[in-house]
Homo-oligomer: A and B are copies of this chain.
Amino acid sequence: MATIYEVSKLAGVSLATVSRVLNKNTPVREETRLKVLAAVEKLGYQPNSVAQSLASNRSNSIGIVVPELNGPFFGTLLSDIENRFRQAGKHVIIAAGHSDEKLEKDSIAFLQSRNCDALILHVEAVSDDYLVELMQKKVRFVLINRFVAPLYDRCITLNNQHGGYLATRHILEHGHRHIGYISGPMWKHDADQRYKGHIRALTEFGLEPSEQRFYEGDYHEKSGETGARILLENDPSITALVCANDEMAAGALTAARELGRELPADLSIMGFDNVNFSHYTHPKLTTVNYPVGGMGEMAAQLILKRVYDQKVDAIQTVFEPRVIERCSVGPAPDEA
Contact = CB atoms under 8 A, between A and B. Distances in A.
Given A69-B82, A280-B281, 19 more contacts: A1-B112, A46-B113, A48-B115, A50-B53, A50-B54, A69-B79, A70-B72, A70-B78, A71-B75, A72-B75, A75-B75, A91-B110, A92-B95, A93-B93, A93-B94, A250-B280, A277-B277, A281-B281, A282-B282
A50 to B, nearest CB: 5
Interface of A: 1, 46-51, 53-54, 59, 68-72, 74-76, 78-79, 82-83, 86, 91-96, 103, 109-110, 112-115, 250, 276-277, 280-282
Given A113-B49, A250-B280, A79 B75 contact: no
Determine how many copies of this chain the complex contains: 2
A113 B69 contact: no
B54 A51 contact: yes
B79 A96 contact: yes
18 contacts: A48-B54, A48-B113, A50-B50, A50-B114, A54-B54, A68-B79, A70-B78, A72-B72, A75-B75, A82-B96, A86-B103, A91-B95, A92-B94, A93-B93, A94-B94, A277-B277, A280-B280, A281-B282
Nearest to A221: B280
Contacts of A86: 96, 103
